[in-house]
């Protein structure tokens, strides 16, 4: 039976005592090294390559063959195994781990004794030729070894790593050191964003940046974070969406623009929500919601092809088939198909009673469109496992969308769902300035939630009066997309530094 299987978890008191002992030992070693004239915090180290690059370079050498060239590598000590006058160690950098063979007769007695004061967690630089052991492991025969950074706190315990999610999120640097899968998640996140940019750039889109601080919150329905500009003595809002500024660029003559950046919404924390999150928003002139709906599908399929290499993925135990074309169904059609409720045959109070049966409060004076939307959210959303576009949203919940060409009660809007979660939002953009102004005013008049700006963005309305061409707009939640492609259960698993309460509160 292996040590790992028989290892007993230490009690909290044992862990604290052990940690105190390790810290004391590390400080003693630091003092000894300084006394011996060693500078424990170097300025630089010249590397010939990363661990992965060096291992790839010499992958073909045979057992017992020593390279004629030497390599210089640096990284963190993750294990030390002493055998008399010989020590084996493992060093890890961003790309991987490599074994070191450190022998007193080769390194020299003085430096070998100094190495005895090195600890797990220290960052070292080393040089030497490489050879393969009898087990086929590529190893560096160390001829030169330098301490680059002395660590003063213990690394996560090797048997169980770092599993406490609270600590993992709060101390992401330790999470990255201890858990290789976490590092892979964030490497994948970077690749996803890069591939989205590659896709849109190839389609002629221009990447732009718009303000993070707004004088009037707009572009979505959400509670904003407020701040204050001292020099101008004015209240500002962290943006909840870049939409209204990106549309101003369409008015100005740009025809294809996108932005990948942060939005801020003063809302609760959950596995699906973080108050600071990353969005892709794009706008294309002379197309409508059908055009950007196709764009949305194409982007996700492109990510499946380039990131996963397959159009079927597994997410939280469910097989998800991303192959196009995705199903399309109206909101009321989805309520009928997935919940067995025909909204056309029901009065408002009957629908309200259904919603209340779910324990959801319904405010007085709520419109029919809002009632139907809540009914969809409560009875249908969780059942939308395979990719599906929900279309034909009520006009009351879509103040920035053009009305449907044949039915003024609904708008040309869609939301794609995967695994019961909305991943994007898009519509034919409203470009009638007078209609837009009237809808803003109606939204303010009806709001009881505090999630709507208290004044009309007159500058945006004025921009529309100069004329915005027919336009399709699309917003995709980057964090949720990353969750799907990394099989992450929580949004906190794909945000490097998610918002946390103060420690101990």
Question: pLDDT: is 439 or 293 the higher one?
Answer: 293
- Percent of the chain whose predicted confidence (pLDDT) is above 90: 83
Same domain, 77 and 200: no
Residue 2 banded pLDDT, cuts 50, 70, 90: very low
Q: Is 93 left (phi over 0), alpha (psi -120 to 50) or beta?
A: beta
- In this prediction, residue 159 has a pLDDT band, given cuts at 50, 70 and 90, of very low
Which of 99, 123, 155 lies at the terminal end of a domain, its last residue?
Answer: 155
Instruction: Give the pLDDT band (50/70/90) at residue 89.
Output: very high
- What pLDDT, on the 0 to 100 scale, is given for residue 218? 87
Instruction: Give the C-alpha separation, 341 to 346, whole Å.
Output: 9
Band of the pLDDT at 4, cuts 50, 70, 90? Answer: very low
376 in a domain, yes or no?
no
Q: What is the pLDDT of residues 431-483, one digit of tens each?
A: 999 999 998 888 888 776 666 677 899 999 999 999 999 999 999 999 999 99
Closest CA to 72 of 125, 139, 149, 146: 125
Greater confidence, 284 or 454? Answer: 284
What value does the CA radius of gyration of the chain take, rounded to a whole number of Å? 29
Please name the residues in contact with 210: beta carbons below 8 A apart, sequence gap of 6 or more. Answer: 239, 242, 245, 246, 249, 259, 261
- Distance between terminal CA atoms of the chain? 42
> H/E/C letters for each residue in 49-82?
CCHHHHHHHCCCCCECCECCCCEEEEEEEEEEEE
Is the model's pLDDT at 398 over the cut of 70?
yes
Q: What is the CATH number of the domain that holds 301?
A: 3.30.930.10
Read off φ and ψ for residue 224, nearest 5 degrees: -90, 160
Residues 11-47 have pLDDT tens digits of 878 878 888 999 999 999 999 999 999 999 999 999 9
Residues 192 and 69 in one domain: no
Nearest to 368 by CA among 423, 331, 334: 331
**Spatial distance between the Cα atoms of 260 and 278, rounded to a whole number of angstroms:** 7
Which has the closest alpha carbon to 307: 122, 485, 69?
Answer: 485
- Give phi and psi for 126, each to the nearest 5: -150, 160
Indicate which CATH number applies to the domain containing 100. 2.40.50.140
Residue 334 lies in a domain: no
The reply to whether 276 falls in a domain is: yes
* Distance, CA of 159 to CA of 8 (rounded, Å): 9
Q: Are residues 147 and 65 in the same domain?
A: yes
CA–CA separation, 274 vs 272, rounded Å? 7
Nearest residue to 362 (alpha-carbon basis) of 345, 350, 336, 343: 350
**pLDDT digits 0-9 by tens, 180-232:** 999 999 999 999 999 999 999 999 999 999 999 999 998 888 899 999 999 99
Torsion of CA 140, 145, 151, 154, to 10 degrees: 40
Query: Does the residue 382 lie in any domain?
Result: no
What is the rounded CA–CA span in Å between residue 386 and residue 421? 10
Same domain, 150 and 187: no
Q: Which residue has the higher pLDDT, 453 or 71?
A: 71
Name the residue among 51, 43, 108, 112 with its Cα closest to residue 76. 51
Query: Quick one: 150 and 190 in the same domain?
Result: no
Q: Which residue, among 321, 285, 315, has the nearest Cα to 301 in the 3D structure?
A: 321
Range 317-322 average pLDDT: 97
Residues 238, 114 within the same domain: no
- Residue 504: is its pLDDT beyond 70? no
Q: What is the pLDDT of residues 100-157, one digit of tens each?
A: 999 999 999 999 999 999 999 999 999 999 999 999 999 999 999 999 999 999 988 6
The C-alpha atoms of residue 359 and residue 340 are separated, in whole angstroms, by: 20
Determine, yes or no, domain membership for 214.
Answer: yes
Please indicate, yes or no, if residue 38 is contained in any of the structural domains. yes
CA 93 – CA 183 distance, rounded (Å): 12
Specify whether the CB–CB gap between 262 and 276 falls below 8 A.
yes
| Average pLDDT of the chain to the nearest whole number | 93
pLDDT value for 451: 64
For 433, the 3-state DSSP assignment is: helix
**Residue 505: predicted pLDDT:** 59
Residues 269 and 400 in one domain: yes
Q: What is the mean pLDDT of residues 155-179?
A: 80
DSSP helix/strand/coil, 216: coil
Beta strands per DSSP E along 5-122: 71-83, 86-92, 97-103
- Are 130 and 204 members of one domain? no
Q: Are 243 and 280 in contact (CB under 8 A)?
A: no
Q: Same domain, yes or no, for 132 and 229? A: no
Residue 165: per-residue pLDDT: 82
Report the domain count for the chain. Answer: 2
Reply yes or no on whether the pLDDT at 161 is more than 80.
no
Euclidean distance between CA atoms 214 and 216, whole angstroms: 5
Kindly give, in sequence order, each residue whose CB lies less than 8 Å from that of residue 379, ignoring residues fewer than 6 positions away: 335, 338, 339, 341, 354, 358
Full domain range(s) for residue 296:
177-326+387-493
What's residue 156's pLDDT?
Answer: 81
> In whole angstroms, what separates CA 378 from the centre of its chain?
26
CA atoms of 107 and 257, how far apart (whole Å): 59
Last residue of a domain, one of 123, 155, 187: 155
Query: Does 40 map to a domain?
Result: yes
Residue 504 lies in a domain: no
CA distance 244 to 26: 55
**Res 446: pLDDT:** 74
Answer whether residue 359 shows pLDDT above 50.
yes
Q: Specify the pLDDT at position 68.
A: 94
Tell me: do 257 and 133 sit in the same domain.
no
Given CA atoms 384, 389, 392, 397 in this order, what sign does their dihedral have? positive
What's residue 308's pLDDT? 96
Of 396, 442, 401, 393, nearest to 247 by C-alpha is 401
Domain match, 453 and 320 both: yes
97 and 205 assigned to the same domain: no
Total residue count of the chain as it appears in this document: 505
List the one residue out of 216, 215, 213 whose CA is nearest residue 440: 216
- Give the per-residue pLDDT at 84: 83
Neighbours of 15 (CB within 10 A): 13
Please say whether the beta carbons of 483 and 491 come within 8 A.
yes
Cα(472)–Cα(426) distance, rounded to whole angstroms?
A: 7
């Amino acid at each position: 039976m292996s040590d790992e299987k028989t290892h007993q978890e230490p009690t909290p008191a044992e862990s604290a005592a052990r940690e105190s002992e390790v810290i004391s030992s590390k400080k003693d070693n630091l003092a000894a090294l300084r006394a011996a004239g060693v500078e424990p915090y170097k300025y630089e180290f010249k590397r010939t390559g990363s661990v992965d690059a060096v291992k790839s370079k010499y992958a073909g050498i045979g057992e017992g063959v020593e390279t004629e060239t030497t390599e210089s590598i640096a990284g963190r000590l993750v294990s030390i195994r002493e055998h008399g006058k010989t020590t084996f160690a493992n060093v890890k950098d961003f790309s991987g781990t490599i074994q070191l063979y450190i022998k007193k007769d080769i390194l020299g007695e003085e430096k070998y004794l100094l190495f005895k004061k090195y600890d797990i967690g220290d960052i070292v630089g080393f040089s030497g030729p490489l050879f393969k052991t009898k087990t086929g492991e590529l190893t560096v025969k160390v001829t030169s070894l330098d301490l680059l950074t002395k660590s003063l706190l213990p690394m996560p315990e090797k048997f169980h790593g770092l599993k406490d999610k609270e600590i993992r999120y709060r101390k992401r640097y330790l999470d990255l050191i201890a858990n290789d899968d976490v590092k892979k998640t964030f490497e994948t996140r970077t690749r996803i964003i890069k591939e989205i940019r590659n896709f849109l750039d190839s389609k002629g889109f221009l990447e732009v940046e718009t303000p993070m601080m707004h004088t009037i919150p707009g572009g979505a329905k959400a509670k904003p974070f407020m701040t204050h500009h001292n020099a101008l003595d004015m209240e500002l809002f962290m943006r909840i969406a870049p939409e209204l500024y990106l549309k101003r660029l369409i008015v100005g003559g740009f025809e294809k623009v996108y932005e990948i950046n942060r939005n801020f919404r003063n809302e609760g924390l959950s596995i699906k929500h973080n108050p600071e999150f990353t969005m892709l928003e794009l706008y294309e002139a002379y197309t409508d919601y059908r055009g950007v709906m196709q764009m949305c599908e194409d982007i996700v399929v492109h990510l499946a092809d380039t990131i996963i290499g397959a159009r079927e993925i597994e997410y939280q135990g469910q097989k998800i088939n991303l192959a196009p074309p995705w199903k399309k169904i109206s909101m009321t059609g989805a309520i009928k198909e997935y919940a067995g409720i025909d909204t056309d045959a029901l009065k408002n109070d009957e629908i309200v009673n259904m919603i209340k049966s779910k324990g959801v409060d319904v405010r007085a004076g709520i419109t029919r469109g809002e009632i139907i939307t809540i009914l969809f959210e409560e009875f249908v959303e969780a059942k939308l496992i395979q990719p599906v576009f929900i279309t034909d949203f009520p006009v009351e919940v879509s103040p920035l969308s053009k009305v449907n060409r044949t039915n003024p009660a609904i708008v040309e809007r869609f939301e794609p769902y995967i695994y019961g979660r909305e991943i994007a939002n898009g519509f034919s953009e409203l470009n009638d300035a007078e209609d837009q102004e009237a809808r803003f005013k109606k939204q303010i008049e009806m709001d009881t939630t505090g999630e709507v700006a208290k004044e009309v963005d007159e500058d945006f309305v004025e921009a529309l009066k100069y004329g915005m061409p027919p336009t399709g707009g699309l917003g995709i939640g980057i964090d949720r997309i990353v969750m799907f492609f990394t099989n992450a259960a929580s949004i906190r698993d794909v945000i490097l530094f998610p918002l946390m309460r103060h420690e101990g509160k």
